[in-house]
Structure formats: structure tokens, C-alpha cells
């Protein structure tokens, strides 16, 4: 039978008529539909779906709150059962059954109520990712753009301001709001926070009147805030009574008997209810007011005093003292108000009962949670600063005191150690100052080649481990690699076959070293072009290895890639050609953090981009802060230019949209760990056939030896031949070009990897 009855609220009776079921869609589905419409530029659909997603999410919450509160009222444990009286668990087996009968009835009531209004429970279950988007108010970011596009400025401003309240470090939105303020027709009242909670709105308004010395109006809003706070607290608490959170995959190993399972779940619920005081003291998810509820009565007592309402002032002062009975200033205020009103009359005025009940309930919950902490090790951190000291068990108090003393001692020792280090550093600086003057200041090491020049250093690029080099390769070499890219590259190569991996407005095509060499052997592309790809990437590796002064850089991945603008998809583009990212960690720009763990390529240590052309529009390379918004440096591609940088969190980077033409470059990533060396490059090294020059005559025979550590080359006549020799072991990856000249007769030249160097034997 249905749990919905005439005892339910009007809202639920309205919903039970099927209104919600007739038009409601899951808010995560609506959110995804709105995002899809956004990228299609369908602004009206964005607004329709996103507004509906916000409404439906709020309605789902409201239904759950109403159902649980109504069911709690209908199945109260204090109500007696027929022939049994009030079911007190533990009084006996029959009483236990009566108690659990109440629990079963409440569960049935809640399930029936929610399923009747919302349908099956899985319909409105969203992923953590979607929930996080709503928590961050991301829907309003999409809405502000959509409303702006259809010239609804008041709604665009409200949406932008709502998003900004929860994301005050979002520089792009801050700029949008500054822009809106300068626009004609935009009013100050348009800058609303559409998500502000009712109790917080009244509290902030009360503070504003309080600051203006409008104490009568301040008191009105603080009183409204108190009433709405307790309503919000009730809703927050009832929403804690949800499913048990197994914390990841713990459910696979969870084994508990009846009472342990009840304990685990109930302490989790109590922990959640205790955190409601923090949740309600939070403005837009980021700003926490200390002692939020007690502060209402602090403001109220002084507002009433200035309005000469001494009875109210005394009531609020006594209510505040429930939280902090030893507050010296408030006790003085209370004494003064009592004298002004008359001490006998003041004695009859009590603190507010609703606050007494709130504190009593909260302290009982804390005592249960501390018991669970001691007995079962279920951690509890008290969110309130007003809790009486004796609520925490003495054993835990002593432990916390010892922990604080230990932390203080460690902090002091660290401080002393840091002072000693600073002293040593200063002395070292002083000793080396003369030597420093003798050395020419350099941003990095040698460049190895005379025609390469440093255009910008780390300092000029506003970061660390950054360099901009020009003249690395010639115009002819740029053109040859550009031709190779268009002849050999495949759409989506290097991007799991996706031709538009980063932007739907551009097409990507690429080719790896091994692919290029194999195509060269097959005759599809000139072999010298494939070899040039290999050699020039090796040149960049050497230059960066020397400039950044690292022992050995190994190739992690090499990719010749071109990105071409799709002409019909360039209108009103706001995306990047390559979104801002970090090469060896997962960038979480909202938190200004970068997480160095898979699937990131954590082994990458240095990166480089070798540019081949500049005959395109857009496509500039950018460095940013960790917020992925604040640009710190910008590089315009051109032939022979290389931007090199450390692959870590110090260098978030991206590429601006290519809006016309084709942008080509060689992307190179390096590692200091030889175990992560590019496998295809190792393979290239191990196969001499991939790099042999075409044979100039039958007099030269290049033999692949049986022993993989020996390369044997027979030279039968006078000759002058240039060979490219590549080692066959990972510990000797790269060799310079070796010139073998003018040996008469049957001479065999061996290159021994075990003892590097040439050995020459005359076999004639």
C-alpha cells in the first residue's frame, strides 16, 4: 500500500498527483544535453535544458526532504503501539520487535513516498563528477554565455555572478563581470546570487544593516536568519539519512553483524549531521563563518540594545552564553542590561528554548561519536568550537594534548633548523660572491651549435625550466619535414585514431619516427626525409640536454604533427586548439593542483616543440598558471624555432585555436629514465637497415653480424664514405656521425659496444 496519505504536506500531495513524473527528466541527462547544445551553438536549448536541470535537481532534493520529515512525523518512536506501549529497545524481545517495527514502517514510508514522486531510485542517481559540476555551479557558467548570446543581459549577469560567488579565483569570469558593469542597461541589482540559501541571504543583509547602524532592520533580518537556519538545519540533517557510504571498494570486504552494521551506518549519519553546522556556515561553498549560529545572537543582543529593547537584548545575550558561558564581554553586557531593565525582571528572562534543545541534541550526538571513536576507532573531528571540554573523553583529551605538544616541539625544532640553514646559506652566498662575479651569468648551458641562439630565457618567459631557441633548423629542413608530414601523416595518428582529439574545429594528422622510416624503406616517402626527421629530433635532444645541464635525456615519444583549421567550423570559436595541460601530471585547474599519477605520463621530464612554419592564423603556444586561465607567456611559431621546458607542474601549457591554414611541428618528450625510452626509437637503433645509405657500389658490403654487439663493415677499395652508426643497447643510445675514410685493401672495421671505439684490422 502507498505510504502517501492526507498527512503529507501540500507539496507532496501535489507531487503525488503525478506532476513531477509527467515532465521530469534526470538532471544529469539534462545537464549533458545542455552541454551538447552549447557546443552546437544552440543557445535556446542550452537555457531550456540547463534551467530544467537546476530545477529538477532542486525538486529531487525537496521531495526527499519532505518525504523523510513527513515519514518521521508519522512513525515517531514516542507513539505507543497497541497492547505494547512505547517500544523501548532493550526492554525485552517483544519491545525490540516493536522498535524495529517502527523502523520498518518508516523505511516503507520513505521508499513509497520517494518512489511515487520520483520513480525508481536509480533514475535520479548522478555520478560524482556530475554532482561536483553542480556543486561548483558550472551550469551557471554555461547559462551566462547562452543568455549573453541571446541578449538577455540581466539573466546573463545573474548567472555569471552566481558562478563567480563559488569560483572567486576564476579570472575569466571576473573579467566578464567587469565587462558587464560597463554595459548600458545593466543594473547593480542584476548582480544576484541565484543559489544563495535563504538563511545566509538574511544573515548577510542583517550584517549590512548592522554596519550601517540600522539596528532595527538588522535585528529583523538576523531573526529571520535564525528561523531559516533551523529550517535549513532540519533539512540538512534529514538528508544525512541516506545510503551507507562504503568509501570506494570497501564494500567488497565489508563483513559486519547486525549491531556492528547498525553502528557503522548510524555513526556515519551522526557525523554527517554534525557537519551540517559547517555546511550551513558556508557561503557559496567557500567562505566559512566561525561560530556562525552563536554569532547571530551576538549581533542580535547589540542590535536590540541600540534599539532599547532590553528584554530581547537579555534573551539574546543569555542565548549566546549557552554556547560560551565564560565569555567575559557578553557576561558584562548581560550584567549591564540587567541593571538597566531591573535585575528582578531580568532574572525571569530565559535563553531561547530552541537553542537549548539544539545544543542538548548536538552534545548527545558528540558523546555518541566520541564513544564510537574510543570503542571502534571511528574517527570523529568536532566541527564546533563551542563544545564543552568535558564532552571529549579524558583519554582522547590527553592524547590530543600530547599530540599538540609534540607538534609544537617539532615546529620549534624545524624553525631552529631553518634558521641554521638560512645562516649557512647566507655564509655560502657571501663566500661565493666574488666567484660569481668572475663567471658570466647564463640562463643555461652551452647550445653546442653556433647558429642556434637563445631568444628568450626562463626569466623572460616568466617561469622556470623554459627556453625559446631560434635557428635550430634551416628553411630547407622545415620545408622537407613539412612535405613529409603531408605525405606520410595519417589522420588521428598519435591520438588513438581520432582526427579531432582536442577540438572539433580542427583536424589532426601525425607520423612517428618508425612509421616515417618504414615508409621511406617502402619508397612511399624519400628515405632522406625520414632520416632527417630522426636526425633533427636527435639534434634537439642534444641541445636541450646541454642547455638544461642534465646528464642524459632519452626520447619518451616523438611525433611530427599538423593541425589544420576546418573552414566551416571557425565561426565564434572560443576553444583552444590544445587545451591547457601538463605533460607529466593530471591538471586540476579548479584546485590549482596537478596530480602526478597514471594515466598521466609521469616519467616525462622535459618537453620540446620544433616548429616548421608560420603561414597560418592563430596557433600560438601559451604558458599559463595552474589555473589554466592566467597566461604567463606566449610564443609565435616560426620555422626553426624550438620551445623547450620542464614537463612538470611548473609549466602548464596549451595552444590557441588555429583558425586558418595548417600548423606543423615536431613534438618531443624526453625522460631521464632509460626504462621509459621510446620503444620505436630503440627498434630503429637496433636495425641498421633502417638507416643505411643507399649502396654507392658493389664494393661496399654492409653485413648484419650474428653477434648483436658487433657491427662489421667491409671496405674493399679506396673510398670516402659517411656511415650513420647507432648503438644496439639502451645504455648507449646515440652516436655521432662517424666518418670512415681512405682505408686500402681488405680492412674490417669493428665497433664494439662493450668497449666503445673502433678497432681496425687489415685482412689483406
Grid cell in block for residue 729: 643497447
Grid cell in block for residue 301: 543582543
- Residue 20 predicted with pLDDT over 60: no
Instruction: Answer yes or no: are the C-beta atoms of 441 and 458 closer than 8 Å.
Output: no
75 pLDDT band, cuts 50/70/90, is: low
Grid cell in block for residue 137: 555551479
**Which helix (DSSP H) or strand (DSSP E) does residue 700 occupy?**
strand 700-703
List pLDDT tens digits, range 285-302: 676 788 999 999 999 999
Q: Confirm whether 739 is a catalytic residue.
A: no
List pLDDT tens digits, range 40-65: 999 999 999 999 999 999 999 999 99
pLDDT in the model for residue 471: 95
State the virtual CA torsion across 744, 746, 751, 756 in degrees, nearest 10: -60
Name which of 1, 13, 51 is nearest 31 in CA terms.
51
Q: Is 105 helix (H, G, I), strand (E, B) or coil?
A: helix
Going by the DSSP 8-state scheme, the letter that residue 206 receives in this structure is: H
- Rounded Cα distance between 327 and 575, Å, is 56
Instruction: Answer yes or no: are the C-beta atoms of 604 and 559 closer than 8 Å.
Output: no
599 prior amide bond cis, ω within 30: yes
End-to-end CA distance of the chain: 106
- Residue 312 predicted with pLDDT over 90: yes
280 pLDDT band, cuts 50/70/90, is: very high
Average pLDDT in the 103-114 region? 90
pLDDT in the model for residue 79: 62
Strand order in the sheet with 642-646: 453-456, 466-470, 642-646, 606-611, 662-671, 554-565, 506-511, 490-491
Average pLDDT in the 377-406 region? 86
Going by the DSSP 8-state scheme, the letter that residue 390 receives in this structure is: G
Grid cell in block for residue 712: 662489421
Name which of 359, 291, 365 is nearest 322 in CA terms.
359
Q: Is 633 helix (H, G, I), strand (E, B) or coil?
A: strand
Q: Is 461 helix (H, G, I), strand (E, B) or coil?
A: coil
Name the average pLDDT for the chain: 81
86 pLDDT band, cuts 50/70/90, is: low
CB atoms under 10 Å from CB of 534, counted, come to 22
- Residue 728 predicted with pLDDT over 80: no
Q: Which of 197, 541, 663, 681 is catalytic?
A: 663
Grid cell in block for residue 228: 531559516
- Rounded Cα distance between 461 and 443, Å, is 12
236 vs 686, which has greater pLDDT? 236
Label each residue of 714-760 as H, E or C: EECCCCEEEECCCCCCCCCCCCCCEEEECCCCCEEEEEECCCCCEEE
- Who's near 518: CB < 8 A, 6+ residues apart? 690
688 prior amide bond cis, ω within 30: no
- Residue 190 predicted with pLDDT over 90: yes
Average pLDDT in the 306-320 region? 96
- Rounded Cα distance between 507 and 250, Å, is 44
- Rounded Cα distance between 110 and 737, Å, is 79
- In 286-370 the beta strands, taken as DSSP E runs, fall at 287-288
List pLDDT tens digits, range 497-520: 445 555 788 988 888 888 888 888
- Rounded Cα distance between 363 and 392, Å, is 10
In CATH, 453-681 is 2.60.120.10: no
**Helices 292-306, 328-341: crossing angle, 10 deg rounding:** 30
pTM of the model: 0.54
- Residue 32 predicted with pLDDT over 80: yes
Grid cell in block for residue 425: 646559506
Q: Which residues pair with 707 in a beta bridge?
A: none
**Helices 527-547, 475-488: crossing angle, 10 deg rounding:** 120
The pair phi, psi for residue 628, each rounded to 5°, is 65, 10
DSSP string, 505-563: TEEEEEE-HHHHHHHHHHTSS-HHHHHHHHHHHHHHHHHHHHHTT-S--EEEEEEEEEE
Instruction: Answer yes or no: are the C-beta atoms of 453 and 470 closer than 8 Å.
Output: yes
pLDDT in the model for residue 417: 85
pLDDT in the model for residue 742: 32
pLDDT in the model for residue 616: 94
pLDDT in the model for residue 140: 96
Half-sphere exposure of 76 (CA within 13 A, CB side): 7
**Which helix (DSSP H) or strand (DSSP E) does residue 268 occupy?**
helix 258-274
Q: Is 148 helix (H, G, I), strand (E, B) or coil?
A: helix
Q: Is 611 helix (H, G, I), strand (E, B) or coil?
A: strand
Q: Which residues pair with 712 in a beta bridge?
A: 703, 750
Q: Which residues pair with 311 in a beta bridge?
A: none
Q: Are strands 554-565 and 662-671 parallel, antiparallel or unpaired?
A: antiparallel
- Residue 726 predicted with pLDDT over 70: no
Instruction: Answer yes or no: are the C-beta atoms of 31 and 131 closer than 8 Å.
Output: no
Grid cell in block for residue 44: 535556446
- Rounded Cα distance between 296 and 207, Å, is 10
The pair phi, psi for residue 501, each rounded to 5°, is -75, -30
Grid cell in block for residue 669: 618528450
pLDDT in the model for residue 655: 94
Instruction: Answer yes or no: are the C-beta atoms of 231 and 354 closer than 8 Å.
Output: no
Name which of 750, 738, 762 is nearest 703 in CA terms.
750
State the virtual CA torsion across 20, 25, 26, 30 in degrees, nearest 10: -140
Instruction: Answer yes or no: are the C-beta atoms of 154 and 190 closer than 8 Å.
Output: yes
State the virtual CA torsion across 368, 374, 380, 381 in degrees, nearest 10: 110
List pLDDT tens digits, range 614-638: 999 999 999 999 999 999 999 999 9
List pLDDT tens digits, range 134-171: 999 999 999 999 999 999 999 999 999 999 999 988 88
- Rounded Cα distance between 480 and 520, Å, is 13
CB atoms under 10 Å from CB of 739, counted, come to 9
CA angle 586, 592, 598 (to 5 degrees): 15
Q: Where are the domains of the chain?
A: 10-190, 202-390, 393-435, 453-681, 692-762
Name which of 157, 139, 114 is nearest 24 in CA terms.
114
Amino acid at each position: 500500500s502507498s505510504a502517501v496519505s492526507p498527512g503529507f504536506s501540500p507539496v507532496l500531495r501535489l507531487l503525488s498527483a503525478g506532476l513531477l513524473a509527467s515532465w521530469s527528466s534526470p538532471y544529469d541527462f539534462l545537464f549533458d544535453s545542455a552541454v551538447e547544445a552549447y557546443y552546437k551553438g544552440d543557445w535556446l536549448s542550452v537555457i531550456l535544458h540547463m534551467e530544467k536541470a537546476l530545477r529538477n535537481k532542486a525538486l529531487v532534493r525537496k521531495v526527499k526532504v519532505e518525504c523523510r520529515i513527513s515519514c518521521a512525523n508519522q512513525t515517531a518512536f514516542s507513539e505507543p503501539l497497541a497492547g505494547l506501549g512505547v517500544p523501548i529497545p532493550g526492554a525485552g524481545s517483544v519491545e525490540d520487535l516493536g522498535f524495529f517495527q517502527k523502523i520498518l514502517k518508516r523505511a516503507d514510508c520513505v521508499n513509497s513516498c520517494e518512489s511515487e514522486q520520483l520513480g525508481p531510485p536509480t533514475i535520479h542517481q548522478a555520478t560524482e563528477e556530475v554532482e561536483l559540476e553542480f556543486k561548483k555551479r558550472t551550469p551557471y557558467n554555461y547559462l551566462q554565455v547562452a543568455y549573453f548570446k541571446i541578449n538577455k543581459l540581466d539573466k546573463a549577469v545573474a548567472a555569471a555572478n552566481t558562478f563567480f560567488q563559488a569560483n572567486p579565483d576564476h579570472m575569466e569570469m571576473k573579467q566578464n563581470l567587469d565587462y558587464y558593469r560597463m554595459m548600458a542597461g545593466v543594473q547593480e541589482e542584476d548582480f544576484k546570487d541565484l543559489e544563495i540559501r535563504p538563511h545566509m541571504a538574511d544573515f548577510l543583509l542583517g550584517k549590512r544593516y548592522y554596519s550601517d547602524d540600522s539596528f532595527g532592520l538588522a535585528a529583523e533580518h538576523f531573526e529571520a536568519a535564525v528561523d531559516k537556519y533551523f529550517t535549513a538545519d532540519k533539512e540538512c540533517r534529514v538528508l544525512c539519512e541516506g545510503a551507507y557510504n562504503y568509501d570506494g571498494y570497501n564494500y567488497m570486504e565489508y563483513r559486519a553483524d547486525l549491531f556492528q552494521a547498525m553502528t557503522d551506518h548510524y555513526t556515519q549519519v551522526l557525523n554527517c549531521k554534525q557537519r551540517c553546522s559547517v555546511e550551513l556556515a558556508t557561503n557559496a561553498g567557500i567562505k566559512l563563518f566561525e561560530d556562525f549560529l552563536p554569532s547571530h545572537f551576538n549581533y542580535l543582543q547589540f542590535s536590540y540594545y541600540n534599539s532599547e529593547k532590553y528584554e530581547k537584548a537579555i534573551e539574546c545575550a543569555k542565548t549566546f552564553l549557552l554556547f560560551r558561558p565564560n565569555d567575559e564581554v557578553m557576561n558584562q553586557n548581560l550584567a549591564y542590561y540587567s541593571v538597566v531593565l531591573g535585575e528582578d525582571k531580568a532574572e525571569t528572562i530565559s535563553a531561547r528554548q530552541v537553542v537549548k534543545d539544539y545544543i542538548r541534541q548536538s552534545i548527545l550526538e558528540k558523546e555518541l561519536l566520541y564513544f564510537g571513536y574510543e570503542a571502534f576507532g571511528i574517527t570523529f573531528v568536532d566541527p564546533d568550537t563551542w563544545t564543552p571540554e568535558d564532552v571529549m573523553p579524558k583519554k582522547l583529551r590527553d592524547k590530543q594534548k600530547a599530540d599538540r605538544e609534540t607538534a609544537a616541539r617539532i615546529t620549534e625544532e624545524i624553525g631552529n633548523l631553518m634558521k641554521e640553514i638560512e645562516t649557512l646559506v647566507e655564509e655560502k652566498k657571501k663566500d661565493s660572491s666574488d666567484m660569481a662575479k668572475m663567471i658570466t651569468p647564463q640562463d643555461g648551458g652551452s647550445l653546442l651549435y653556433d647558429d642556434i641562439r637563445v631568444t628568450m630565457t626562463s626569466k623572460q618567459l616568466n617561469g622556470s625550466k623554459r627556453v625559446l631557441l631560434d635557428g635550430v633548423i634551416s628553411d630547407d629542413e622545415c620545408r622537407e619535414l613539412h612535405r613529409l608530414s603531408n605525405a606520410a601523416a595519417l589522420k588521428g595518428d598519435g591520438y588513438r585514431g581520432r582526427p579531432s582529439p582536442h577540438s572539433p574545429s580542427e583536424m589532426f594528422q601525425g607520423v612517428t619516427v618508425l612509421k616515417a622510416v618504414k615508409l621511406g624503406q617502402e619508397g612511399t616517402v624519400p628515405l632522406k626525409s625520414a632520416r632527417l626527421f630522426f636526425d633533427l629530433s636527435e639534434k634537439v635532444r642534444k641541445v636541450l640536454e646541454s642547455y638544461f645541464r642534465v646528464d642524459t635525456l632519452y626520447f619518451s615519444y616523438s611525433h611530427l604533427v599538423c593541425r589544420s583549421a576546418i573552414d566551416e567550423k571557425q565561426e565564434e570559436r572560443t576553444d583552444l586548439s590544445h587545451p591547457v595541460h601538463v605533460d607529466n601530471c593530471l591538471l586540476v585547474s579548479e584546485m590549482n593542483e596537478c596530480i602526478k599519477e597514471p594515466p598521466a605520463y609521469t616519467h616525462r621530464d622535459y618537453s620540446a616543440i620544433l616548429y616548421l612554419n608560420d603561414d597560418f592564423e592563430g596557433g600560438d603556444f601559451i604558458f599559463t598558471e595552474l589555473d589554466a586561465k592566467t597566461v604567463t607567456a606566449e610564443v609565435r611559431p616560426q620555422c626553426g624555432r624550438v620551445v623547450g621546458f620542464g614537463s612538470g607542474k611548473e609549466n602548464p601549457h596549451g595552444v590557441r585555436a588555429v583558425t586558418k591554414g595548417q600548423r606543423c611541428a615536431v613534438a618531443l618528450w624526453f625522460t631521464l629514465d632509460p626504462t621509459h625510452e621510446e620503444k620505436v626509437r630503440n627498434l630503429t637503433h637496433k636495425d641498421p637497415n633502417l638507416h643505411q645509405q643507399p649502396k654507392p657500389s658493389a664494393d661496399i658490403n654492409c653485413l648484419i653480424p650474428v653477434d648483436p654487439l658487433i657491427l662489421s663493415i667491409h671496405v674493399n677499395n679506396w673510398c670516402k664514405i659517411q656511415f650513420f652508426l647507432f648503438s644496439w643497447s639502451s645504455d648507449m643510445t646515440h652516436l655521432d656521425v662517424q666518418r670512415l675514410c681512405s682505408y686500402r685493401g681488405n680492412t674490417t672495421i669493428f665497433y664494439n659496444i662493450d668497449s666503445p671505439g673502433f678497432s681496425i684490422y687489415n685482412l689483406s
